Amino acid sequence: MEIKITSRKFKAKDTLKEFINEEVKSLERFSDSIISADVVLSYLHSKDSIKIAEVSLSVPGKILLVTEESDEFSKSITKSVDKLKRQLKKVKSKRNPKTVKKNEN
């Protein structure tokens, strides 16, 4: 999986980039068909220091997009990854429906 990290109006530290890579790579446990991930980090207001993380996952036939806000980028990334885990599970369950009940007459 290719992971692209973009930080708007600031330069992300290497430790933050490593954290993002680890968190996003953990999604591979839930789906082995993830093509790429785009992570965009930005500030909402410079005064309030609200940090936004947008994570976009490309999977065959879909693009999953999540946006989270918090006071730290690491929290925003963790929340985003948790939401994406739920979405990946949902997509996987739709692709692999459980056994279909047969009509009994």
Establish if 10 belongs to a structural domain. Answer: yes
Token representation of residue 100: 């279909």
Establish if 36 belongs to a structural domain. Answer: yes
* pTM for this model (two decimals): 0.83
pLDDT 10s digits, 9-52: 889 999 999 999 999 999 999 888 899 999 999 987 766 789 99
Give me the CATH number covering residue 77.
3.30.160.100
Establish if 85 belongs to a structural domain. Answer: yes
**Residue 78, domain extent:** 2-94
d(CA 70, CA 99): 41
Establish if 43 belongs to a structural domain. Answer: yes
Contacts (Cβ under 8 Å, ≥6 apart) of 61: none
- Say if strands 2-7 and 36-43 run parallel, antiparallel, or are unpaired: parallel
Establish if 71 belongs to a structural domain. Answer: yes
How many independent structural domains does the chain possess?
A: 1
